[in-house]
């Protein structure tokens, strides 16, 4: 019975680790997307920092990435940036790859 409990604890620990990693990747991805959007909108350094945090916060509105895409696309459109939804989605995917790379390498 002990080996079953040990295995169960191991599975729970792995699940918790995987969930934490997914959260960190998503937060870093959203921050990178916010940085990209801030550059397009020509925000100052202080405004860009605030904006990146706002993009990360936007991900807590609903499950999935649609809330982040909606926020960034809306902000870029309001700032008269010539960017469509496909470009935001492509950049989000690119940012996810970079976020995973950064997390793995520890940077």
The residue ranges of every structural domain in the chain are 2-105
**pTM summary value:** 0.85
Distances (CA, A) of 43 to 9, 35, 36, 104: 47, 10, 10, 29
Retrieve residue 35's tokens.
């940085």
Retrieve residue 28's tokens.
């870093």
DSSP state of 61: S
Count Cα neighbours of 53 within 13 Å in the Cβ-side half-sphere: 5
**Confidence at residue 6, expressed as pLDDT on a 0 to 100 scale:** 78
**Confidence at residue 18, expressed as pLDDT on a 0 to 100 scale:** 74
Instruction: Provide CB contacts within 8 A for 50, sequence distance 6+.
Output: none
Instruction: Provide CB contacts within 8 A for 76, sequence distance 6+.
Output: 37, 40, 41, 83, 88
Instruction: Provide CB contacts within 8 A for 48, sequence distance 6+.
Output: 34, 35, 38, 39
Average pLDDT by stretches of 10, the chain with 107 residues: 77 81 94 97 96 94 90 96 96 97 89
**Confidence at residue 103, expressed as pLDDT on a 0 to 100 scale:** 93
- Rounded CA-CA distance 15/99 in Å is 20
**Confidence at residue 1, expressed as pLDDT on a 0 to 100 scale:** 57
Q: Which CATH class is domain 2-105?
A: mainly alpha
């Amino acid at each position: 019975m002990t080996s079953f409990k040990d295995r169960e604890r191991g599975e729970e620990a792995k699940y918790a680790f995987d969930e934490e990693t997914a959260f960190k990747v998503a937060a870093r991805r959203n921050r990178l997307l916010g940085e990209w959007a801030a550059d397009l909108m020509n925000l100052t350094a202080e405004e860009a920092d605030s904006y990146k945090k706002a993009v990360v916060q936007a991900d807590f509105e609903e499950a999935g990435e649609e809330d982040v895409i909606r926020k960034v696309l809306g902000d870029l459109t309001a700032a008269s940036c010539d960017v469509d939804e496909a470009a935001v989605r492509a950049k989000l995917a690119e940012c996810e790859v970079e976020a995973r790379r950064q997390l793995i390498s520890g940077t």
